[in-house]
């Protein structure tokens, strides 16, 4: 199914208003239910996915939904904890951190994973002409490695330094408020490298690569895997395919978070079962809202997660015959933490 012009035009203004037009009456499983879906700002990928998910859940499962732009990933995890939303689109690091009371979360926030979606990369880019040919060359350089809203950026830099035995004290690590500020600094030549969040084929990265303002820091797959040993379980290995960006002729090993839809632990199993059944089995329609929805699959959700799955998800996986003893062992380990 192709995205029509009308759908593209209305996505930006749908939000809570569109979901408020939800179907009244009883749900498919016999009781009235309404789900509040928390997400990031209007117009973001997470927001568009939440709108699409909300419409599908309403139309196919008969469950009323509203979509609420809460803020960043950490804010959405907090929204689950405060019970101001029932489901939330976030990233695996914020979910892991909230569940374990780490990295800015003072108290644990109990929640469950509903679906794992698309990757969200975290990696180091350098300034061409700065003479940085390897990770060792980062020593003594000025690097944007911190952002208050994204504490995982510094974790990536620290993991690289630890895994490769770099002298991180020799680096002048500075902070910026957002991606635009970081790009302005590297174009001006005031910094030599930055740690950046980005998605596959992200436009801002393509522009920087095409204009030769930035280049990937290259490490070996073994060095990348060594980094993962010093990162939280919310991080995953990814190999960025060659030629996905201009002037990127080689595969780039890097690390990534996954997009999560998480939910309150006390959501009843049947509601969650209907949510995942709808989103998995209507994936082709879901993709019509945003191409990233093609990653919201059974296969991706079965990747060992950073937090436990909701029992309603496990119920669905058992029913379709994909839940194994290995999956159960991972689930029990996460529940016992």
**Which pTM does this prediction carry?**
0.86
Angle (deg, nearest 10), helices 269-281 and 45-61:
110
Give the whole-angstrom CA distance, residue 283 versus residue 260: 16
- For residues 3-9, average pLDDT: 36
3-class state of residue 120 by DSSP: strand
Q: What percent of the chain has pLDDT over 70?
A: 91
Identify the band that residue 183 occupies on the pLDDT scale cut at 50, 70 and 90. Answer: very high
CB 257 within 8 A of CB 236: yes
| Rg of the chain over all Cα atoms, to the nearest angstrom | 21
What is the DSSP annotation of 322-337?
Answer: ---HHHHHHHHHHHH-
CA end-to-end distance (rounded Å), the chain: 43
pLDDT of residue 24: 35
Is the pLDDT assigned to residue 69 strictly greater than 80?
yes
pLDDT of residue 126: 98
Residue 187: count of CB within 10 angstroms of its CB: 14
Identify the band that residue 337 occupies on the pLDDT scale cut at 50, 70 and 90. Answer: confident
Residue 168: count of CB within 10 angstroms of its CB: 16
pLDDT of residue 25: 34
CB 100 within 8 A of CB 337: yes
Tokens found for residue 58: 């309403």
Residue 145: count of CB within 10 angstroms of its CB: 26
CB 230 within 8 A of CB 92: no
Q: What percent of the chain has pLDDT over 90?
A: 86
pLDDT of residue 18: 42
pLDDT of residue 29: 43
pLDDT of residue 200: 82
CB 298 within 8 A of CB 280: yes
pLDDT of residue 6: 36
List the domains of the chain with CATH numbers: 5-120+258-336 (3.40.190.10), 121-257 (3.40.190.10)
Is the pLDDT assigned to residue 74 strictly greater than 90?
yes
Is the pLDDT assigned to residue 4 strictly greater than 50?
no
| DSSP H helix total and E strand total for the chain | 13, 10
- For residues 155-175, average pLDDT: 98
Handedness of CA 138, 142, 144, 145 (dihedral sign): positive
Is the pLDDT assigned to residue 224 strictly greater than 60?
yes
12 or 172, higher pLDDT: 172
Average pLDDT of the residues of the chain = 90
* pLDDT tens per residue, range 7-34: 333 344 444 444 433 333 334 444 447 9
pLDDT of residue 202: 86
State how far the alpha carbon of 221 is from the alpha carbons of 103, 179, 238, 253, in Å.
Answer: 27, 27, 9, 6
pLDDT of residue 149: 85
231 or 337, higher pLDDT: 231
* pLDDT tens per residue, range 270-322: 999 999 999 999 999 999 999 999 999 999 999 999 999 999 999 999 999 99
- For residues 68-94, average pLDDT: 96
């Amino acid at each position: 199914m192709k995205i029509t012009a009308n759908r593209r035009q209305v996505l930006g203004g749908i939000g809570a208003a569109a979901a408020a037009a939800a179907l009244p009456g009883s749900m498919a499983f016999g009781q009235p239910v309404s789900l509040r879906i928390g997400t990031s700002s209007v117009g973001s990928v997470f927001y568009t996915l939440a709108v699409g998910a909300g419409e599908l859940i309403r139309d196919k499962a008969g469950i009323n939904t509203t979509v609420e732009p809460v803020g960043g990933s950490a804010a959405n995890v907090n929204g689950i904890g405060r019970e101001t939303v029932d489901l939330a689109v976030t990233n695996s690091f914020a979910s892991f951190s909230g569940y374990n009371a780490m990295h800015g979360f003072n108290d644990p926030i109990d929640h469950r994973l509903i679906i794992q979606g698309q990757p969200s990369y975290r990696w180091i880019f350098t300034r061409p002409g700065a003479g940085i040919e390897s990770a060792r060359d980062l020593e003594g350089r000025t690097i944007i490695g911190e952002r208050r809203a994204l504490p995982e950026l510094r974790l990536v830099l620290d993991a690289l330094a630890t895994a490769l035995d770099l002298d991180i004290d020799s680096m002048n690590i500075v902070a910026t408020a957002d991606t635009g500020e970081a790009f302005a600094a590297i174009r001006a030549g005031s910094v030599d490298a930055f740690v950046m969040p980005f998605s596959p084929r992200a436009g801002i990265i393509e522009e920087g690569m095409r204009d030769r303002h930035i280049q990937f820091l290259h490490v070996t797959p073994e060095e990348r895997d060594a980094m993962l040993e010093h990162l939280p379980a919310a991080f995953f290995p990814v190999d960025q395919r060659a030629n996905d960006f201009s002037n990127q002729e080689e595969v780039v090993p890097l690390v990534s978070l996954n997009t999560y839809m998480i939910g309150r632990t006390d959501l009843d199993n049947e509601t969650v079962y209907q949510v995942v059944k709808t989103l998995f089995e209507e994936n082709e329609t879901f993709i019509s809202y945003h191409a990233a929805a093609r990653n919201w699959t059974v296969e991706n959700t079965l990747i060992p997660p950073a937090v436990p799955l909701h029992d309603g998800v496990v119920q669905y996986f058992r029913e379709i015959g994909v839940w194994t003893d290995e999956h159960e062992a991972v689930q029990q380990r996460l529940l016992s933490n």
